[in-house]
Chains A and B, each alone.
Chain A
């Protein structure tokens, strides 16, 4: 598919039927009696699948756009990142704890909006995939600021072989799995610019570490 056709297809043509599904769900939710068990279950399935499609297509499209653009970024101060993320979490009401730690000195040449989206998306993805709360903190390290998510406990809490490709969303609905290409997106933000994203299991903890490279 030509890039312009792909853009039209994913960015526009698929957005319309998705909008219609969201709208049909909205109307059904308003009109279905609460005691109609089969109807309510269908509603739940419709909602979960619509959201899954929306998220999958959204991340896929963002990833394609990111791969297509490699424009240089004007440097910006590293200490503005964490307050900005905390603000996003509060404003958007995201179901994740605000990150601990600070940015420290130095500057990034990373695309800010994409970095925010990737970091917040990673936090949401891990929180969804893990069966226990995820701790999130920032720590300055030689030449980089490290964003670390730690999941305490069960090794089975995550499937590392699939995490970068597939995440199972333990939502209230019976509809599973829930696919989210968010981590490949964050990796694509970081790796071409000298950063990294790594998942490790050690001492009874899963840790996902994103190294955000600072300018020399």
Chain B
């Protein structure tokens, strides 16, 4: 089963995203902020990271930049409000392969995760 790391501080968003992704056949590992996400990415070896941008302690871009510095090649999807999304030239430094603006269509998010992980669903 393809494992996805979900890093999101809002408990309802986490619950909904977990349910949607599990329903589509993914295994979901959760983290509540960037610090937890960093640890989970290194211990759980997910095929993809789905992360919020604004989070307490360590935000999504900070977590992704730290992972990249440590040699991680895990592809990441950054989910956030439209005006907060980083510019395309910043993506590579953070390992971001796709951005999704809130509020988003869940069908689209599932398609993005499927495409990145190669999971047919």
A residues lining the B interface (CB < 8 Å)? 7, 11-12, 15-24, 26-27, 30, 54, 61, 65
How far is A23 from B10 in the complex, measured between Cα atoms in Å?
13
Distance in Å: Cβ of A16 to nearest Cβ of chain B: 5
Stretch at the interface among B30-38, B43-51, B66-74, B102-110: B102-110
How far is A19 from B12 in the complex, measured between Cα atoms in Å?
9
Contacts of A18 in B (CB 8 A): 102-103
Distance in Å: Cβ of A6 to nearest Cβ of chain B: 12
Q: Are A22 and B106 in contact (CB under 8 A)?
A: yes
Q: Chain A at the B interface: mostly helix, strand, loop or mixed?
A: helix
Q: Are A15 and B54 in contact (CB under 8 A)?
A: no
Q: Are B84 and A19 in contact (CB under 8 A)?
A: no
Contacts of B83 in A (CB 8 A): 7, 11, 61, 65
The residue that A12 contacts in the complex, of B17, B80, B104, B105, with Cβ under 8 A, is B80
B residues lining the A interface (CB < 8 Å)? 10, 12-13, 16-17, 19-20, 23, 54, 80-84, 102-107
Q: Closest chain B residue to A61 by CB distance?
A: B83
Q: Are A26 and B20 in contact (CB under 8 A)?
A: yes
10 contacts across the A-B interface (CB closer than 8 A)? A12-B102, A15-B81, A16-B102, A20-B12, A20-B16, A22-B103, A26-B16, A27-B16, A54-B103, A61-B83
Q: Chain B at the A interface: mostly helix, strand, loop or mixed?
A: helix
The residue that B23 contacts in the complex, of A16, A20, A27, A61, with Cβ under 8 A, is A27
Q: Are A19 and B103 in contact (CB under 8 A)?
A: yes
Q: Closest chain A residue to B107 by CB distance?
A: A26
How far is A19 from B52 in the complex, measured between Cα atoms in Å?
12
Distance in Å: Cβ of B80 to nearest Cβ of chain A: 7
Q: A16-B102, A18-B102, A54-B103 are in contact. Are A23 and B81 (CB under 8 A)?
A: no
Q: Are A12 and B103 in contact (CB under 8 A)?
A: no
Distance in Å: Cβ of B72 to nearest Cβ of chain A: 26
Q: A12-B54, A12-B84, A15-B102 are in contact. Are A20 and B20 (CB under 8 A)?
A: no
Which residue of A7, A26, A30, A54 has the most chain B CB atoms within 10 A of its CB atom?
Answer: A26
